[in-house]
């Protein structure tokens, strides 16, 4: 019997993702993966709150491409979500109609809490029962979750991410040390009240997910600072290297970054650096799962419950 296929489409502030997975021996197995880097959050006009026309065309083209892939696999179990960028759009209803038409499926705009729940579920797949801290730094928001096993103890979402900080402090090609310090203060002001609310919680493991955190891990490996694990000492060393660079091109060469990632790297780095400070983190390991795996696990759980019901 052919394995049942499940698909999740995550329309994020930096990238659009499509993953198709199946379940074998109670484990999720990848079948297909598509990614389109759009940086939608960077195309929102700060005055009108509307998406610029060029980015809208590119987004709809990406969704048409996803629709073809879904049709090729004859996907029937599908969930599509929009994250922080959709929450920030003032004309999201108009764009949403066009996006749903291009994809051929309804799009659900997640609340920050819903986004955090899916992230935690995806990160926790296959892990032992443990008390864990999870952070996801996206383009337009940052999610912080503390849980035990599959149970979420506390979750929060803040409307600040790598693109948000880039637009405010790193919009020029030049890396300005004064603006870097100002960005750190802004990130600290955003995260500190949340950290205060989490001060009585405890955890044994610290996990990070998102392209931003993976890029930081990659940079630490390239500089031979660590084997990929992120520590406070490693971040301090990486900060010195970043500030020794005149511009983003020089930084990309030193850190061996993809040029498409380097433009928002400083914003993401500052968010993670301040998360370490505010939450007193000692290390961060890269999680294997993320929001899309959480969405698919949720669909499978609902199907299993339906099959087992009398």
Query: Could you tell me the two tokens for 167?
Result: 């637009």
From residue 117, how far is each of 156, 256, 294, 299 by CA, in Å? 10, 33, 8, 14
- What integer pLDDT is reported at residue 118 of this predicted model? 96
CA distance 145 to 279: 12
- What integer pLDDT is reported at residue 1 of this predicted model? 44
Note whether 79 and 8 are within 8 A (CB).
yes
Bridge-based pairing state of the strands 5-11 and 15-24: antiparallel
Q: Using only C-alpha atoms, what is the Rg of the chain?
A: 19
Question: Where does 89-176 have alpha helices with state H?
Answer: 92-103, 112-124, 162-169
- What integer pLDDT is reported at residue 94 of this predicted model? 87
How many Å from the N-terminal Cα to the C-terminal Cα in the chain?
24
Please state the length of the chain. 310
Q: Which domains does the chain have, with CATH numbers?
A: 5-110 (3.30.420.40), 127-286 (3.30.420.150)
Q: At what angle do helices 211-222 and 232-243 cross, to 10 degrees?
A: 80
DSSP for 43-59, please give it. GB-TTT--B-HHHHHHH
- What integer pLDDT is reported at residue 210 of this predicted model? 86
Residue in the block written with tokens 């400070």:
277
- Sites in the chain below the pLDDT cut of 50: 1
């Amino acid at each position: 019997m052919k394995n049942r296929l499940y698909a999740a489409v995550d329309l994020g502030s930096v990238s659009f993702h499509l993953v198709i997975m199946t379940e074998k021996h109670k484990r999720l197995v990848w079948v297909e993966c598509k990614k389109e880097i759009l940086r939608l959050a960077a195309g929102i006009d700060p005055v009108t709150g509307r998406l610029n026309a060029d980015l809208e065309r590119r987004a709809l083209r990406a969704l048409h491409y996803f629709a073809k892939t879904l049709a090729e696999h004859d996907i029937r179990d599908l969930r599509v979500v929009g994250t922080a960028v959709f929450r920030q759009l003032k004309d999201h209803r108009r764009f949403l109609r066009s996006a749903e038409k291009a994809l051929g499926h309804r799009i659900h705009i997640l609340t920050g809490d819903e986004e955090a729940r899916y992230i935690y579920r995806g990160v926790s797949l296959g892990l032992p029962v443990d008390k864990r801290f999870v952070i996801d730094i996206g383009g337009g928001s940052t999610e912080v979750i503390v849980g035990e096993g599959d149970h979420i103890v506390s979750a929060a979402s803040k409307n600040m991410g790598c693109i948000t900080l880039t637009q405010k402090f790193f919009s020029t090609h030049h890396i300005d040390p004064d603006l870097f310090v100002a960005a750190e203060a802004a990130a600290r002001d955003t995260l500190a009240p949340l950290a205060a609310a989490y001060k009585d919680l405890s955890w044994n493991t610290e996990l990070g997910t998102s392209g931003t955190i993976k890029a930081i891990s990659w940079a630490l490996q390239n500089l031979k600072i660590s084997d990929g694990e992120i520590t406070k000492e490693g971040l301090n060393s990486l900060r010195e290297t970043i500030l020794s660079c005149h511009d983003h091109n020089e930084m990309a060469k030193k850190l061996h970054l993809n040029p498409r990632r380097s433009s928002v790297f400083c914003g993401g780095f500052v968010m993670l650096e301040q998360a370490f400070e505010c939450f007193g983190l000692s290390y961060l390991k890269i999680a294997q799962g993320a929001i899309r795996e959480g969405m698919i696990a949720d669909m499978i759980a609902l199907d299993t419950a339906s099959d087992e019901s009398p």
